[in-house]
C-alpha cells in the first residue's frame, strides 16, 4: 500500500507544475477573453461597460471581419495543400532516389524554417518591390521591356503572401516526412516493383498509407499554426493592406483591440477565432481518421 501511495504522490508532483502553469497561462487567459468579449472598454482603460452579446452581434454584420475570415480560410486551405504536396513529393524524391548532394538539398530546403518571419518578410518584400524588385527585374529581362507589376497590390497580395508562407514551411515538413519514410521497409518497394508497380503507384499505395499517422498529426498542427503565421506575415509584409485586401482574422482583431480602442470587440473576434480553430481541429481529425497500417 505504501509503495502505491508513494507512486501516486510522485506522479502528482511530476504533473502538478505543468498543470498549474497550463492553467495560469492558458486556461485563465482564454476564459478571460470570453469574459472581456461581453464588455465595452478600451485596451488601456480600467473602465468597462457590460454589453452582453452586443460585440458578437456587431461582429457577424461587420463586412471587414467577414473579409478577414475569408482571407484566413483561403490561406489555410491553399497554403496547407501546396505545402504538404511539395513537402511529400520532395521527401519522396530525396528519400528514395539516389541523388548527388542529398544532404545539401536537405539543408537548403530547411534553411527558411530557421529564419524569423520578419527576415523572410523583408526578403520577399524586396523581391516583390515594384521598381527594383528581383521578380520584376527578372520578368523585364525576358520580356525586353520594363515590368512594373504590383505584387503587393490588391489583386496579387494574397498570392504573394501564399508564396512566402509556403516557402517558409516546406523544408520543415519535408524533413519530418523523410524521417518517416526512412522507416518504411525497402522490401515492400521491391515486392511492388516485381508486381509491376511504378514509382508513383508505390508512393500513393505504400508510402502515403504507411506514414499517414505522421501526416495526420502534422496536418492538424500546421492548419492551426497557419492562423498564427498568417498574422505574422501580414503584420510584417503588408499590415493588412492595401485597403484591407490582405487582412486576416488575427490582424483585424489586433487592430480593433489596440488601435481602434475597441478592446471588448477585439476580444469577441478572438473568442470566435478560438472556437473556429477548435472546431477546425476536430473536423480535420475526424476527416483524416483511418485505421493505422502496420508492417
pLDDT digits (tens, 9 = 90+) for 8-20: 888 888 899 999 9
Query: Is the predicted pLDDT of residue 212 greater than 70, yes or no?
Result: yes
Contact indicator for 259, 240 with CB cutoff of 8 Å: no
pTM of the model: 0.89
Q: Which band of pLDDT confidence, cut at 50, 70 and 90, is reported for residue 81?
A: very high
Number of Cβ within a 10 Å radius of residue 68: 26
**pLDDT, tens digit, for every residue of 155-208?**
999 999 999 999 999 989 998 898 888 888 888 888 888 888 888 898 888 888
Q: Which band of pLDDT confidence, cut at 50, 70 and 90, is reported for residue 127?
A: very high
Query: Is the predicted pLDDT of residue 100 greater than 80, yes or no?
Result: no
What does the pLDDT read at residue 275?
92
Residue 165 and residue 81: Cα distance in Å, rounded?
12
**pLDDT, tens digit, for every residue of 267-283?**
999 999 999 998 998 89
Q: Name the phi and psi angles at 50, rounded to 5.
A: -70, 125
Share of the chain above pLDDT 70, in %: 96
Q: Which band of pLDDT confidence, cut at 50, 70 and 90, is reported for residue 292?
A: low
Least confident of 47-51, 97-101, 134-138: 97-101
Q: What sign does the CA torsion over 92, 95, 96, 98 have?
A: positive
Number of Cβ within a 10 Å radius of residue 129: 16
Query: Is the predicted pLDDT of residue 261 greater than 80, yes or no?
Result: no
Query: Is the predicted pLDDT of residue 1 greater than 60, yes or no?
Result: no
Residue 162 and residue 156: Cα distance in Å, rounded?
10
Q: What sign does the CA torsion over 159, 165, 168, 174 have?
A: negative
Residue 210 and residue 213: Cα distance in Å, rounded?
8
- Specify which residues 50 forms β-bridges with: 39
Residue 82 and residue 291: Cα distance in Å, rounded?
25
The secondary element (H helix, E strand) that includes residue 39 is: strand 39-40
What does the pLDDT read at residue 293?
64
CB within 8 Å of 271: residues ≥ 6 apart: 33, 34, 37, 56
What does the pLDDT read at residue 102?
74
Query: Is the predicted pLDDT of residue 3 greater than 70, yes or no?
Result: no
What does the pLDDT read at residue 295?
58
Amino acid at each position: 500500500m505504501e509503495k502505491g501511495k508513494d507512486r501516486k504522490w510522485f506522479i502528482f508532483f511530476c504533473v502538478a507544475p505543468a498543470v498549474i502553469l497550463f492553467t495560469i497561462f492558458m486556461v485563465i487567459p482564454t476564459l478571460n477573453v470570453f469574459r472581456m468579449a461581453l464588455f465595452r472598454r478600451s485596451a488601456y482603460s480600467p473602465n468597462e461597460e457590460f454589453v452582453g452579446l452586443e460585440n458578437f452581434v456587431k461582429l457577424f454584420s461587420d463586412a471587414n471581419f467577414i473579409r478577414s475570415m475569408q482571407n484566413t480560410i483561403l490561406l489555410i486551405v491553399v497554403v496547407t495543400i501546396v505545402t504538404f504536396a511539395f513537402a511529400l513529393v520532395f521527401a519522396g524524391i530525396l528519400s528514395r532516389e539516389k541523388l548527388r548532394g542529398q544532404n545539401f538539398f536537405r539543408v537548403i530546403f530547411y534553411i527558411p524554417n530557421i529564419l524569423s518571419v520578419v527576415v523572410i518578410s523583408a526578403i520577399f518584400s524586396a523581391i516583390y518591390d515594384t521598381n527594383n524588385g528581383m521578380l520584376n527585374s527578372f520578368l523585364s529581362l525576358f520580356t525586353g521591356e520594363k515590368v512594373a507589376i504590383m505584387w503587393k497590390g490588391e489583386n496579387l497580395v494574397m498570392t504573394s503572401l501564399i508564396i512566402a508562407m509556403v516557402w517558409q514551411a516546406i523544408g520543415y515538413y519535408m524533413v519530418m516526412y523523410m524521417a518517416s519514410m526512412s522507416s518504411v521497409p525497402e522490401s515492400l518497394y521491391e515486392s511492388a516493383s516485381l508486381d509491376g508497380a511504378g514509382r508513383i503507384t508505390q508512393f500513393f499505395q505504400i508510402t502515403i498509407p504507411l506514414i499517414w499517422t505522421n501526416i495526420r498529426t502534422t496536418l492538424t498542427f500546421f492548419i492551426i499554426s497557419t492562423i498564427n503565421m498568417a498574422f505574422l506575415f501580414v503584420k510584417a509584409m503588408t499590415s493588412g493592406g492595401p485597403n484591407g485586401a490582405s487582412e486576416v482574422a488575427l490582424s483585424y482583431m489586433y487592430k480593433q483591440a489596440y488601435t481602434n480602442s475597441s478592446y471588448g470587440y477585439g476580444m469577441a473576434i478572438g473568442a470566435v477565432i478560438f472556437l473556429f480553430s477548435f472546431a477546425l481541429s476536430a473536423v480535420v481529425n475526424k476527416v483524416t481518421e483511418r485505421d493505422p497500417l502496420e508492417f
